[in-house]
């Protein structure tokens, strides 16, 4: 089996628009830096009250991906509103990780009370798929797809949720001052979801401003590490190096 060109990172959402709201600014920033960025939507997000159907939602998702500079967007077609963590859903996502071989995976990190329970299921599916991606002696479930250890996993939270994930002390803020407008534009691609919610853009912008202010930048997105990790060069990691300016957290190198 000939594998496609690898991606540097994959962001996983339960529905189209989850990733844009949570970390669209970060994805746009990394894409502009030359990293190969992918998004996996576990479901098509349909049905929803104001959408005429999956085809329209798919076109919205494709438009949002273009705004962010995303190289690959994949939809797994698992059932919206009935998404459950199961062996089959774990394997389906792990297959994509083995196929596209990301260094970094970003996904949900917490429940979203009074919002879709699919989000919590997506977190558990993603956690398991990261683990399944590196397991050997399981070729009957992953025919032709080589084992792939994922180096780092980060958790996001939706932009309008609390700024930190409770119980996780390993948080980082990415400076999205120069890509906040791309994030907003990608969210606005989902007219069926948000055209009737004009306050959402205001809330997303305000949340990014508050998050960024905590780190002394104009706008930011907050992430929690799935587990602590060590760094080799503290100056590069803190982005102060020779420039002497704090620009955010370090990122993995582009795929070659």
Domain membership flag for residue 45: yes
Exposed/middle/buried for residue 121 (C-beta within 10 Å: 0-12, 13-18, 19+): buried
Tokens of 73: 């967007």
- Has residue 251 got a pLDDT over 80? no
Instruction: Give the chain's end-to-end CA distance (angstroms, integer).
Output: 20
- Has residue 140 got a pLDDT over 90? yes
Where residue 54 sits, what CATH number does that domain have? Answer: 3.40.50.10320
Domain membership flag for residue 175: yes
Predicted confidence at residue 239, as pLDDT, reads: 67
Count of domains observed in the chain: 1
Domain membership flag for residue 219: yes
Q: 21 in helix, strand or coil?
A: helix
Domain membership flag for residue 249: no
Domain membership flag for residue 59: yes
**198-236 residue pLDDT tens:** 899 999 999 999 999 999 999 999 999 999 988 888 888
Using the Cα atoms of residue 3, residue 104, residue 23 and residue 218 in order, give the sign of their dihedral. Answer: negative
Domain that holds residue 149: 9-230
Using the Cα atoms of residue 74, residue 78, residue 82 and residue 84 in order, give the sign of their dihedral. Answer: negative
DSSP 110: S
């Amino acid at each position: 089996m000939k594998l496609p060109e690898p991606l540097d990172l994959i962001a996983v959402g339960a529905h189209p628009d989850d990733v844009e709201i949570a970390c669209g600014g970060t994805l746009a920033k990394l894409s502009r830096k030359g990293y190969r960025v992918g998004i996996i939507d576990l479901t098509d997000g349909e049905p929803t009250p104001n959408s005429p159907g999956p085809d329209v939602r798919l076109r919205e998702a494709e438009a949002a991906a273009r705004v962010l500079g995303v190289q690959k967007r994949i939809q797994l077609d698992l059932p919206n509103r009935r998404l459950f963590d199961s062996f089959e859903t774990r394997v389906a996502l792990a297959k994509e990780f083995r196929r596209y071989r990301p260094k970094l995976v970003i996904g949900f990190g917490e429940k979203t009370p009074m919002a879709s329970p699919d989000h919590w299921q997506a977190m558990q599916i993603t956690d398991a798929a990261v683990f399944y991606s590196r397991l050997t002696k399981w070729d009957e479930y992953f025919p032709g797809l080589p084992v792939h250890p994922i180096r780092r996993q980060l958790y996001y939270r939706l932009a309008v949720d609390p700024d930190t994930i409770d119980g996780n002390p390993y948080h980082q803020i990415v400076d999205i001052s120069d890509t906040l407008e791309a994030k907003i534009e990608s969210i606005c691609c989902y007219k069926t979801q948000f055209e009737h919610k004009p306050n959402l853009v205001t809330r997303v912008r305000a949340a990014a401003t508050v998050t960024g202010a905590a780190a002394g930048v104009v706008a930011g997105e907050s992430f929690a590490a799935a587990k602590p990790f060590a760094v080799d060069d503290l100056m590069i990691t803190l982005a102060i190096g020779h420039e002497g300016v704090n620009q955010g957290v370090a990122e993995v190198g582009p795929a070659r």
